[in-house]
Amino acid sequence: MSLTKEQVLKQYYGYNAFRPLQSDIIDWVLYGQDAMVLMPTGGGKSLCFQIPALMMQGLTLVISPLIALMHDQVQALKANGIAAEYVNSSLTTQEQSSIERQCRNGELKLLYISPEKLFTQGYLEWVVSLNISLFAIDESHCVSTWGHDFRPEYTKLNVLKKALPNVPMIALTATADKVTRKDILAQLGIPDAKVFISSFDRPNLSLAVQAGRNRVKIIQNFIAEHPRQCGIIYCLSRKNTESVAEALQKVGINAKCYHAGMPANERSTVQNQFIQDDIQVIVATIAFGMGIDKSNVRWVIHYSMPSNVESFYQEIGRAGRDGLKSDTLLFYSYNDLLVRKDMIATSELPAEMKEVQVAKVERMKQYAEAEICRRRILLSYFNEEVTTDCGNCDVCKNPPIRFDATLIAQKALSAIARTGENIAMSMLIDILRGANNRRIIEHKYHEIKTFGAGKELKADEWADYLQQMLNSGVMDIAYDEAHAYKLNKASWAILKEGRKVQLVRYRPFEEKQAEREANIPKEKSKKEVIKDALFERLRVLRKQIADDRNIPPFVVFSDATLSDMAQKKPLTQLEIMNVSGVGEQKYRQYGEAFLLEIRNFLKTIPKGSHATGIDTHHYTFQLYKEGFSVEEIAEQRNLNPVTIFSHLAKLYEDGENIDISAFITQAEYEQIMGAAKVMNVKKGDPVKPLFEAMDAKYEYHKIRIALLMAEKAK
């Protein structure tokens, strides 16, 4: 009998429900129809072709552009007990012919292949001679010159549909605007395919932007707030990656850098160590991350601003693929923006492309400078309408407070004017605060009218306001003149005509930090403490298993699965298989080890603690059912055997299947009941008189059991 798609989801993946759209897409493909799927990274695209592949007769051919990606997906499929392989240039001839034999014998459900391989001599003919049930084109934006990752071989893929017009095709991508989308379908020869677009929102990713000052210190604090959690820091230059990594290592953070200038073997070592959870933090250029499926990246920081929103979204999208809460942080300074613009201006691009690029940088700036919910800005970029604030970005959490800063602006602008527009930020701040240093005396700046006019503000405060003034066009900056401030039309309107200036009230770093901490509930409940402690033990076990088997920890179980497990604290096969992400194969391989770890953990919890969230009778019953003796259960649970007897008696009374007669011999039963009859003691009465009348020969729990049996026998 064939399984329903829900049963396949449960059996192979251990998931209890489909995400929005997955179910519709699977049905559509099973009808034999063509489809295009647009979902964000981590949205769950893979299941949309993997589940039909499992439910259809023949082989599903998956076209995938990256060797690393193929390897990861096939590894994950195999871990779930699904027959899948890949062919690409990395295989030996022997490996390849073994896989080809399996294909011919119908032993595989999925075959991953790179377009390059597909179009080598004679390969295509061989592939279409197989019993193919479905074509899946992963990362299908590679087919379009409009997309950001064009691959020439992808344009030849239309031969697939030509060769086998009745085999359905599903194209998947995380990035495609309308033009690209149409182009993809045309190029693949499926112009009428139904397009499924899921929301691009990733509500589990928090969004935040901080001014680009003290970046390293802020990052160090950030990592301290994310103990043992893996993350990526993106930098613009190779030099940056090295210096940031070094600064983190100095304070004992397990960080490594990664950039295209490193030897290939060094790069792949670093990447593998990160995937294996052996490195906590990667400091990388954008060369890192493409084709990495690691689902437990818990945070992403941008040390500098990316060049456009697509790249930014894709990069932060590498966090939280498992759906668990993850954090993102972007550093932003006006200087970063100008660096970006400069890179475009000096590039080889044709003029109209430069214009497009500048417009894209401007959209990134809007995000960075946003004073409304940042998620609204992101999603509107992807043409998605949002009607409510997200509550999970820094603007939503701490709305900016604006005030009339005209006087502040006038003081600064006047000082700039009086010094001949040739001073940069730190000198300006010194003048405003009336500092007495040599350079000031040298230039006689202490004689100008605004000297010391801004004493009431701290240096950091001034830096923040000057940055804001620059960002909002109140003045200009000349990077080719040692970053000297320049006055513009707006500056003069403020100075001469009293035009108003609004700025956002400065909040010192410590204050922001305190606010952030206030947002984190200080006192975790006992239940949460126990859950976290168990999660930690399960994580360690996962790492051991992963190392033993030489697979990444997240392939053993995702963080989401460990978290659900730590919450549910399963004690039996049935219970652990109810944890999200524990399918049949995973249970067979790791189920017992994790159950044992949970039990061992529970032993360490103080007696009678309700904080585990486990019903104590239920726990005893589970162990009883597994065949443990009363003494063994007591040992395991760190409880007195008498307590275990009382649990079992209660369970028996409640109608559970407990062989209570095993705890008492026939002779004992008769003796106790004989005395009970004489003294007229029944179940529920105090047993002390009976205990004493029989000279303490039988323990209380035995007397209770006898009375209980007698009652039941009635």
**Positions in the binding site for ligand ADP (CB under 6 A):** 15, 18-19, 22, 39, 41-47, 295, 321-323, 558, 580
DSSP letter, residue 641: H
Which of the stretches 17-25, 221-229, 382-390, 568-576 binds Zn ion when contact is defined by CB under 5 A?
A: 382-390
Q: Out of 248, 393, 431, 546, which residue is the one contacting Zn ion (CB under 5 A)?
A: 393
Amino acid at 495: L
CB of 624 to Zn ion, least distance (A): 51
CB of 376 to Zn ion, least distance (A): 7
The strand ranges marked E within 130-180 are: 132-137, 169-173
The yes or no reply on residue 370 touching Zn ion (CB under 5 A) is no
Q: Of Zn ion, ligand ADP, none, which one sits near residue 47, judging by CB under 5 to 8 A according to partner kind?
A: ligand ADP
Q: How far apart are CA 401 and CA 535, in angstroms?
A: 40
Q: How far apart are CA 529 and CA 190, in angstroms?
A: 53
CB of 395 to Zn ion, least distance (A): 6
Distance from chain centroid for Cα 230? 10
How is residue 469 written in tokens?
């003034």
CB of 45 to ligand ADP, least distance (A): 3
CB of 298 to ligand ADP, least distance (A): 14
Q: Of ligand ADP, Zn ion, none, which one sits near residue 69, judging by CB under 5 to 8 A according to partner kind?
A: none
The yes or no reply on residue 379 touching Zn ion (CB under 5 A) is no
Helix, strand or coil for residue 590? helix
The yes or no reply on residue 390 touching Zn ion (CB under 5 A) is yes
Amino acid at 142: C
CB of 39 to ligand ADP, least distance (A): 5
The strand ranges marked E within 76-229 are: 84-87, 110-113, 132-137, 169-173, 194-197, 205-206, 209-211
The yes or no reply on residue 396 touching Zn ion (CB under 5 A) is yes
Using the minimum distance from each CB to ligand ADP, give the nearer residue, 318 or 531: 318
Q: Of ligand ADP, Zn ion, none, which one sits near residue 316, judging by CB under 5 to 8 A according to partner kind?
A: none
Q: Of Zn ion, ligand ADP, none, which one sits near residue 39, judging by CB under 5 to 8 A according to partner kind?
A: ligand ADP
Q: How far apart are CA 227 and CA 447, in angstroms?
A: 52
Q: Please check whether residue 652 is in contact with residue 708, taking contact to mean a CB–CB distance below 8 angstroms.
A: yes
The yes or no reply on residue 208 touching Zn ion (CB under 5 A) is no
Instruction: Say which residue the tokens 């377009």 belong to.
Output: 115
Using the minimum distance from each CB to Zn ion, give the nearer residue, 89 or 380: 380
Using the minimum distance from each CB to ligand ADP, give the nearer residue, 506 or 554: 554
Q: Of ligand ADP, Zn ion, none, which one sits near residue 390, judging by CB under 5 to 8 A according to partner kind?
A: Zn ion
DSSP letter, residue 85: E
The yes or no reply on residue 377 touching Zn ion (CB under 5 A) is no
CB of 520 to Zn ion, least distance (A): 18
- Which run of H or E residues covers position 62? strand 59-63
CB of 318 to ligand ADP, least distance (A): 10
The yes or no reply on residue 244 touching Zn ion (CB under 5 A) is no
Selection from 678, 573, 702, 695 nearest residue 14 by Cα: 573
Q: Out of 305, 329, 373, 405, which residue is the one contacting Zn ion (CB under 5 A)?
A: 373
Using the minimum distance from each CB to ligand ADP, give the nearer residue, 289 or 323: 323
Q: How far apart are CA 440 and CA 435, in angstroms?
A: 8
Strand partners, 135: 61, 169
Q: Of ligand ADP, Zn ion, none, which one sits near residue 306, judging by CB under 5 to 8 A according to partner kind?
A: none
Q: Of ligand ADP, Zn ion, none, which one sits near residue 43, judging by CB under 5 to 8 A according to partner kind?
A: ligand ADP
CB of 550 to ligand ADP, least distance (A): 20
Q: How far apart are CA 226 and CA 520, in angstroms?
A: 12
Distance from chain centroid for Cα 595? 25
Q: How far apart are CA 561 and CA 535, in angstroms?
A: 10
* 456 Cβ neighbours under 8 A, 6+ residues apart: none
Using the minimum distance from each CB to ligand ADP, give the nearer residue, 558 or 563: 558
CB of 307 to ligand ADP, least distance (A): 22
Strand partners, 284: 234, 258
Interface contacts to Zn ion, rule CB under 5 A: 373, 375, 389-390, 393, 396
